[in-house]
Structure 1
């Protein structure tokens, strides 16, 4: 597997897990800062690309508010974030993490 694929998988997992940590909803700016805290320095455009990919998988819902995208995790997204379901293209959380 290519290095960029591994990064994308981890970044998507961090987004889902971060959303579960903040009661399910955050805007793209906050998500960008959460990714940064986990060592993933991304542009806002890259964050939005991940959010829309996650939306296509049914893991988040996105609402655009004044040029800001607000993501809300779905119940399926929570299952993936907690390792109860798998989706190709998203990393697996460590057991007990």
Structure 2
């Protein structure tokens, strides 16, 4: 697996964990981007955040809603299971113990 693939997996997990930590379980694309630029891993670009949001949606881990020209993501139960380490799936990094 390439470094870029591992990075994408880490971004996906980071997004799910962020969404799971919010009281409403949802956040806009720009908010996710801002939060991800201050993390421990190299930050994604704004376009990469949108791409990963769509990937997570395609897998059923988030539901996307258009809000103007941006997307809002809401985590699903499947996404919560991954964010909390109860489920391990290909394409998303594992939660560390």
TM range, smaller chain: over 0.9
- CA distance in structure 2 between the partners assigned to 1:21 and 1:40 by the alignment: 21
User: Which residues of structure 2 form unaligned runs of 5+?
Assistant: none
Pick from 53, 56, 61 the counterpart of residue 54 of structure 1.
Answer: 56
Q: Is residue 11–residue 40 contact of structure 1 (8 Å, CA) maintained in 2?
A: no
Partner of residue 5, structure 1 = 5
RMSD (CA atoms): 0.9
In the alignment, structure 1 residue 63 sits paired with structure 2 residue 57: no
Gaps of 5+ in 1: none
For 2:80, the equivalent position in structure 1 comes to 78
Structure 1 runs (4+) deviating above 4 angstroms are none
Contact 1:86 1:92 in 2 (8 A): yes
Output the CA distance in 2 between the equivalents of 1:62 and 1:42: 19
Answer whether contact 1:59 1:76 (CA < 8 A) is retained: yes
Alignment: residue pair count: 95
> What is the TM-score with the length of structure 2 in the denominator?
0.93
